[in-house]
A = this chain, B = another copy of it.
Amino acid sequence: MPHLIVEYSSNLEGFPEAHALDALNATIIASGQVQYEQDLKSRTIRTEQFVIGNDPTALRGFVHAELRLLAGRTPEVKRDLSERIAAVLRELTPHPEGMLVQLSVDIVDMDRAAYYKGTL
């Protein structure tokens, strides 16, 4: 059931989309928080049009991951998941010279009562 969305700014040339998703899925599944490995659905979004802050002279990029889980995890479990995801992204995200690259991870609760899940 979890969904992972990884967004990154297009100035992070060579961001290894497929490799990053493979590594993130392996890490998240290894956490024990995904009941069936096939439930974890992960994707990347490359953001072409972005502005970071308000200093046009600064060279800046970002990578941001959002993990959506059914509600019910403890704050500790969520914090652990966000740190695991961040560790993978820190290792795999390109770091162009002179660029400030911000890395963030958000853990989002999904409404357990309303969520629908099935297969075709």
User: In whole Å, how far is A94's beta carbon from the nearest beta carbon of chain B?
Assistant: 9
**Which residues from chain B contact A58 at a C-beta distance below 8 Å?**
38
Total number of A residues with any Cβ neighbor in B under 8 Å: 65
Give the CA-CA distance A100 to B38 in the complex, in Å: 9
List A residues at the B interface (Cβ < 8 Å).
1, 3, 7, 9, 17-18, 21-22, 25-26, 29, 36-44, 47, 49-56, 58, 60, 62, 64, 68, 75, 78-79, 81-83, 85-86, 90, 93, 95, 100-111, 113-120
- A–B pairs, 14, beta carbons within 8 Å: A3-B64, A7-B43, A22-B54, A37-B54, A41-B50, A42-B52, A44-B50, A83-B116, A90-B118, A101-B120, A102-B118, A103-B116, A105-B116, A108-B111
